[in-house]
Amino acid sequence: MTHLLDWLDVEEDDWKACILEALAFGEERDRAWGRHDGSALGMVFFNDSLRTRVSMELAASELGVRSVTVTPGSGTWGFAWDEGRPMNGDEAEHIREAVGVMSRYCHVLGVRLFASGTDRTADVSDALLTRFAASSTVPVINLESASRHPCQALADATVLHRHFGEGEDLAGKKFVLSWAPHPKPLPMAVPNSTLLMATRLGMDVVLARPDGFELDESVIDAARRQATTAGGSFSETDDQNAAADGAHVIYAKAWGGFGRYDDPESEADLRLSKSDWRITSETMQLTDGGQFMHCLPVRRGVVVDDAVLDGESSLHLDQAEFRLHAQKAILDWLLRDRNLRDGESAGDGR
């Protein structure tokens, strides 16, 4: 059974096919209208969302897939995660039964489950997402976990292909992922997936972040490997202006440092002292006619100046639009996979 938890687990052919499908859905929104009529998608949102929730519900609907969304603890039972302990707390339902039941109703599940912010090992390894998927008997789509946001990554990859020309090689394009200021220590799912997306596309990728805001070494190692395989490059710097020099893309994202796990006060002091990492018109002037990207939601005047977002060189709304097209490509891939398996097993066994 294929899950989409992290694109690192997915073969190159499937990743490329999903980009092409997402591009095609962007050109012709109704091209697969009702293709998966009779299928059901169940989504569990442990955290808030605008884009992911709306675009997944619409993506499903346009493919003929019925969707249901639950938010544990708010109109749905709170879910317990502990193993081997009597459930004497507030939570009425264990994750094993909750996901098991949803798997009986639905042909594919989606889950949004952010980082705890307190258990670094569990967050980096996406331990809760892994347990959720282990309880499912149907494919699971990661709708943003502690450590990855594959739906965002596919949408962003598709927007890059579309912007720079669908047939054009992205090799030689300088892609800067820049840390950005924020009042909260946000998780690392988006920067991790963004770095892995851009290196997989063979771009010349620069990670610009102040000391204290490094990404996990496992992600950096994977980014290096992918850059080598794809014929691009990867480097890190704490000099944002040097990174922006000659860039074709500035992708801004805020995240909290790993200091949040053992010394949150120092992490907050450091983070709040770096407000000059905000992306401004001056930053963009250093680029080679560069495009601004952000996954949204974005804090205007904190992460980026209004003039950049409202100018002609920002792709943030395209990125949001392509969430719809990308997730249709993902649903279509996973449901076609399931239909093939069902067809094969019906042929073998009955």
Residues 164-190 as b or e (16 or more Cβ within 10 Å = b): beeeeebeebbbbbbbbbbeebbbbbb
Look up tokens 């292909």; give the residue.
161
Hey, is 142 helix, strand or coil? Answer: strand
Distance in Å, CB of 195 to ligand CP, minimum? 16
Instruction: Give yes or no for a cis peptide into 297 (omega within 30° of 0).
Output: yes
Q: Which CB atom, from 154 or from 223, has the smaller least distance to ligand CP?
A: 154
**In this structure, what are the phi and psi dihedrals at residue 249, rounded to the nearest 5 degrees?**
-145, 135
Using DSSP, state whether 29 is helix, strand or coil: coil
The CB-of-141 to ligand CP minimum distance in angstroms stands at 13
Least Å distance, CB 111 to ligand CP, is 13
CB of 149 vs ligand CP, minimal distance in Å: 6
Nearer to ligand CP, 49 or 339 (CB): 49
Give me the least distance between CB of 228 and ligand CP, in Å please: 29
Q: Give every strand in the sheet of 291-293, ordered side by side.
A: 233-237, 204-208, 174-179, 249-253, 291-293
In this complex, which beta carbon is closest to ligand CP, that of residue 52 or of residue 136?
52
CA 21, CA 141: separation in Å to the nearest integer? 17
Return the number of the residue (325 or 338) whose C-beta is nearest ligand CP.
325
- The contact set with ligand CP (CB under 6 A) reads 49-52, 144, 152, 295-297
Determine contact, residues 164/173, Cβ cutoff 8 Å.
yes
Q: Which is nearer to ligand CP, 49 or 125 (CB)?
A: 49
